[in-house]
Amino acid sequence: MLTQHQIDQFHRDGILLLENVADYNTLATMRDALAALVEKSRTVTQHDAIYDLEPDHTTERPRLRRIKHPHLRHAVFNDFPRTEPLLGILQQLLGPDVRMHSSKLNLKARVGGSSLEWHQDWAFHPHTNSSMLAVGLMMEDCRMENGPMRVIPGSHQGPVYDHNANGRFCGAIDPDSVALNYASAIPCVGKAGTISIHHVFSVHGSAANTSPYPRPLLLYEFMAADAWPLMGVPDIEAFDSRMICGQPTYAPRLEAVPVRLPLPAAVNLGSIYENQTQLKRRYFTPGDTP
């Protein structure tokens, strides 16, 4: 469980790191599940519902940017947030009723795995209130050369920034037009089993992976059950099946939150990496992204 000091730190900085949240056996099962998914990607030649490919992905040398919705691919990814200690941590931060918004496993392939430009998760999916956060589990040790996620402390107190380019949503902030202290960003480095927790408004991004090892970061987004997406709920059964504890509600809680809708929609819906190529000025060098 979190101490009051850690809870205060999360609210002050919008980012918190915690060691030893996943144990040895859980990490071993996750790594096996990941290896099987990477093996299956050998026959895939285009982005699909499961895989986001690095531009140089081949059958002989599979290179993935992301596995989409890992909680639907293997029980270990579904169970992890539904068991202690993560479950209790989420309830401390979000209350008794918690829903998963989504999950993703960002692999950042070794030697050149793609960077991600600065962005706020809120820009992708504004809700009726801001009781939302993301948890990132380091499935392997993560160092600076692996291209760790970096989170700008205090940026969750700021506005929601423009994430459009060429007249469409692109999922990235133009670093030259937003005066943030990018150098102050906290790198999410640590031993395998460490988690980061960042607020839905926190500005974050990551450099390319220059190391000879991949950087598997298992990310989940969660919200209080009374935070409802402003872009609508297309499938109420799927929505409620993502409750991880407590009860769903049909009475959204409304907060005076800053909102920009992610519209007009990005051209390549479903790949943040492709969307961000629309940005004119990048902060990070792209890695393998052409």
Ligand X SMILES: O=C(O)CCC(=O)C(=O)O
C-alpha 63/C-alpha 86 separation (Å) is: 30
Of the candidates 16, 38, 98, 217, which one interacts with ligand X according to CB under 6 A?
A: 217
C-alpha 209/C-alpha 80 separation (Å) is: 26
Judged by CB under 6 A, does residue 151 bind ligand X? no
Answer for the pair 196, 23: CB distance below 8 angstroms, yes or no.
no
Whose Cβ is closer to ligand X: residue 226's or residue 286's?
286
Q: Is 135 exposed, middle or buried (0-12, 13-18, 19+ CB in 10 A)?
A: buried
Query: Which residue's Cβ has the minimum distance to ligand X?
Result: 206
**Who contacts 40 (Cβ-Cβ below 8 Å, separation ≥6)?**
none
C-alpha 149/C-alpha 272 separation (Å) is: 15
Rounded to the nearest whole angstrom, what is the least distance from the CB of residue 191 to ligand X in the complex? 17
Whose Cβ is closer to ligand X: residue 189's or residue 226's?
189
The interface mask with ligand X, positions 109-138, x = CB under 6 A, is -------x----------------------
C-alpha 135/C-alpha 184 separation (Å) is: 20
C-alpha 221/C-alpha 103 separation (Å) is: 6
Judged by CB under 6 A, does residue 142 bind ligand X? no
Rounded to the nearest whole angstrom, what is the least distance from the CB of residue 176 to ligand X in the complex? 20
Rounded to the nearest whole angstrom, what is the least distance from the CB of residue 65 to ligand X in the complex? 9
Side chain identity, residue 151: V
Rounded to the nearest whole angstrom, what is the least distance from the CB of residue 236 to ligand X in the complex? 25
Which alpha helices (DSSP H) does the chain contain, by range?
Answer: 4-13, 24-40, 75-79, 86-94, 121-124, 236-241, 272-276
Q: Which residue has the tokens 């089993």?
A: 193
Rounded to the nearest whole angstrom, what is the least distance from the CB of residue 107 to ligand X in the complex? 9
Burial 27-47 (b: 16+ CB within 10 A, else e): bebbeebbeebbeebeeeeeb
Whose Cβ is closer to ligand X: residue 62's or residue 216's?
216
Judged by CB under 6 A, does residue 149 bind ligand X? yes
Rounded to the nearest whole angstrom, what is the least distance from the CB of residue 230 to ligand X in the complex? 19
Rounded to the nearest whole angstrom, what is the least distance from the CB of residue 141 to ligand X in the complex? 15
Of the candidates 206, 209, 271, 289, which one interacts with ligand X according to CB under 6 A?
A: 206
Rounded to the nearest whole angstrom, what is the least distance from the CB of residue 21 to ligand X in the complex? 18
Judged by CB under 6 A, does residue 63 bind ligand X? no
Of the candidates 41, 103, 106, 278, which one interacts with ligand X according to CB under 6 A?
A: 106
- How would DSSP label each residue in 56-87? T--SSS--EEEEE-GGGT-HHHHHGGGSTTHH
Cα 103–Cα 107–Cα 111 angle in degrees, nearest 5: 165
Q: Residues 224 to 283: which contact ligand X by CB under 6 A?
A: 272
Whose Cβ is closer to ligand X: residue 59's or residue 184's?
184
Judged by CB under 6 A, does residue 204 bind ligand X? yes
Which residues here bind ligand X, judged by CB under 6 A? 104, 106, 116, 149, 204, 206, 217, 219, 272
